[in-house]
């Protein structure tokens, strides 16, 4: 059982070529890290979308939120864009029965779950969905993700920046040094971003998905 993560950039046609370069450079940097650290494989296609295979489904939400915050923290001044730059992302968890050299040519349950979920996502929300063979799991996390959307939709770029480094395992003091701000400012941005609630969601996701995978559903 694997996880497939598929995403497309919201309002991609509204960005300038230079802005798209910034966004794609940011996600490519994360993809290289995922490949080295998690043995995950990601590819960009169409210039504004991506797909990746994650060997350990319990890590899919960590990876997804790292991608989102890596893009959210990019400073873009574009009057055509409402809010922070962001992706719609669908996580599909299941088997992969056709693995080609390119993941874009591969197929299986996880690909189908992820692709079909992304196809249902229109407009600004939802921005994150989960699909598995278990409807109860899908229902639970899509409620959680709806609340997550309401939280992240109110983030400032500064809040997203702090959350990004928290995902990277940085301590508050280290984030303060990285950003050149006081530790008290980091702590305040962390609170505004509702980091403690997000950390609980990450823990719950890992517990449920690990159990689901171990049961071999």
pLDDT averaged per 10 residues in sequence order, the chain, 217 residues: 94 90 94 91 90 94 96 85 89 78 68 92 90 96 95 92 93 95 95 95 96 81
Residue 98: per-residue pLDDT: 52
Is the sign of the CA dihedral 136, 138, 141, 142 positive or negative? negative
- Assign 168 to helix, strand or coil: coil
Inter-residue contact 103 to 53 (CB < 8 Å): yes
Q: Which residue has the tokens 């923290």?
A: 73
Side by side, the strands of the sheet bearing 41-45 are 41-45, 49-54, 2-9, 87-94, 128-131
Query: Maximum Cα–Cα distance for the chain, whole Å?
Result: 50
Q: Which residues contact 79 (CB under 8 A, 6 or more apart)?
A: none
Distance CA 194, CA 109 (A): 34
Residue 105: per-residue pLDDT: 52
Residue 103: per-residue pLDDT: 62
Distance CA 182, CA 186 (A): 7
Inter-residue contact 94 to 113 (CB < 8 Å): yes
What ranges in the chain are assigned the alpha helix state H? 17-38, 60-72, 109-119, 135-152, 157-167, 172-179, 183-192, 195-215
Distance CA 125, CA 45 (A): 22
Domains of the chain (ranges; CATH) run 2-215 (3.30.70.1230)
**DSSP label at residue 12:** G
């Amino acid at each position: 059982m694997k996880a497939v993560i598929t995403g497309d950039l919201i309002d991609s046609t509204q960005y300038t070529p230079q802005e798209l370069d910034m966004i794609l450079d940011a996600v490519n940097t994360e993809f290289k890290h995922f490949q080295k650290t998690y043995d995950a494989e990601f590819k960009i296609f169409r210039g504004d979308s991506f797909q990746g295979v994650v060997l350990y489904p319990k890590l899919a939400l960590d990876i997804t939120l790292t991608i989102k915050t890596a893009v959210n923290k990019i400073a873009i001044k574009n009057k055509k864009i409402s809010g922070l730059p962001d992706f719609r992302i669908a996580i599909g968890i299941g088997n992969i029965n056709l693995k080609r050299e390119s993941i874009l040519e591969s197929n299986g349950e996880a690909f189908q779950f992820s692709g079909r979920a992304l196809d249902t996502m229109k407009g600004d929300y939802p921005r994150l969905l989960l699909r598995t063979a278990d409807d109860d799991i899908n229902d639970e996390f899509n409620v959680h993700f709806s609340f997550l959307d309401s939280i992240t939709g109110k983030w400032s770029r500064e809040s997203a920046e702090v959350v990004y480094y928290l995902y990277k395992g940085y301590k508050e003091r280290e984030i303060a040094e990285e950003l050149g701000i006081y530790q008290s400012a980091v702590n305040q941005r962390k609170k505004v971003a509702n980091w403690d609630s997000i950390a609980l969601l990450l823990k719950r996701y890992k517990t449920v998905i690990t159990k689901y995978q171990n049961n071999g559903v």
